[in-house]
Amino acid sequence: MTTMAPDTGAQDTAGYEAVFDAAVAAEERIEPRDWMPDAYRATLVRQIAQHAHSEIIGMQPEANWITRAPSLRRKAILMAKVQDEAGHGLYLYSAAETLGTGRDELLDKLHSGRQKYSSIFNYPTLTWADVGAIGWLVDGAAITNQVPLCRCSYGPYARAMVRICKEESFHQRQGYELLLALSRGTEAQHAMAQDAVNRWWWPSLMMFGPPDAESSHSAQSMAWKIKRHSNDELRQRFVDICVPQAASLGLTLPDPDLRWNEERGQHDFGAIDWTEFQEVLRGNGPCNDQRIGQRRRAHEEGAWVREAAAAYAAKHGKATA
């Protein structure tokens, strides 16, 4: 968006609002200095922060296997991926900061449980194949969710997503390729791959959020063009993408109700266990305490390092630090 809000006086937001609405309707980008409704700003802060937190917490389940990766090639790929995730977290915190919040404040909200991260990262990585299942399914679901965000009405977020989606697609292909190697490997490797898919399939479908009927933020986010498609629409799209991929992997998806529906031209699939989803969101998933505990510990144990850097910068000026 290039036009600034009209100067109609601080009390009269109606004029600003009309300009904002027109810009959104015309598919223009809202930029940090543009006027925006408070609720739009708050929604974006919440969503971008949660997205950044997910990248940071999401490093843990995968980093869990860095020291045990079974070949040097796989180890290098996994390290690069976890490094990318830290980088994505940094982009996203920067995008959130354009809305007038700070990274420290957001991290504080993550550590105190006032802001959330994706429920998927509360599941444990129990075997090497889980690294592949995360790449294929979890990153696959993330991409399905995030590609439309490249057209999100808020410019800084949309631009961050363009960069992030490129790297995520690469990770997703690597995850698929990891599973394919296992699936075509020894019997034990194949079984390991199938077991991982069995455990990650349903949690991946939950990544799209509650059913449309119960999604509290959806309607407004769609009107603001932050969101482009409903949760259920994206979930359906993801299932339709995964079914043929599973077949070419030589693996099955753990859903007896999954079948092609000729009439709809889409797959029907079984009911999601929303009770489990709610429990995980409430903090009662398998790894919630462990994940947030590790994040808090890293932050607390690193406090003296950050203090040292600040003290040094104060003495010597930022340029030499």
- Binding residues for another protein (CB under 8 A): 56, 59-60, 63, 66-76, 79-80, 82-83, 86-87, 89-90, 93, 128, 178, 181-182, 185-186, 188-189, 294, 297-299, 301-312, 315-316, 321
Closest CB to another protein among residues 227, 295: 295
Residue with Cβ nearer another protein (141 or 193): 193
Q: Tell me the closest approach of the beta carbon of residue 116 to another protein, in angstroms.
A: 18
User: How many Å apart are CA 272 and CA 279, to the nearest integer?
Assistant: 13
CA atoms 221, 222, 227, 232: torsion sign: positive
CA angle 252, 254, 260 (to 5 degrees): 70
Task: State the nearest-atom distance from the C-beta of 81 to another protein, in Å.
Answer: 9
Q: Smallest distance from the beta carbon of 317 to another protein, in angstroms?
A: 13
Residue given tokens 């991982």 in the structure block: 196
The CB-of-106 to another protein minimum distance in angstroms stands at 11
Nearer to another protein, 59 or 147 (CB): 59
Tell me how far, at minimum, the Cβ of 285 lies from another protein, in Å. 18
Q: Residues of 106-145 as b/e, b for ≥16 C-beta within 10 angstroms?
A: bbebbbeeebbbbbbbbbbbebbbbbbbbbbbbbbbbbbb
Calpha distance 23→41 (Å, rounded): 15
Nearer to another protein by C-beta: 98 or 294? 294
Minimum CB distance to another protein smaller for 63 or for 241 = 63
CB of 99 to another protein, least distance (A): 19
Assign 6 to helix, strand or coil.
coil
Q: How far is the CB of 75 from another protein (least distance, A)?
A: 6
Amino acid at 274: W
Q: Between 26 and 304, whose beta carbon lies closer to another protein? A: 304
Tokens matching residue 45: 């802060």
Tokens (6 digits) for 104: 């420290």
For residues 93 and 157, which CB has a smaller minimum distance to another protein in the complex? Answer: 93
d(CA 123, CA 131) in angstroms, rounded, equals 12
- φ/ψ of residue 30, rounded to 5: -85, 130
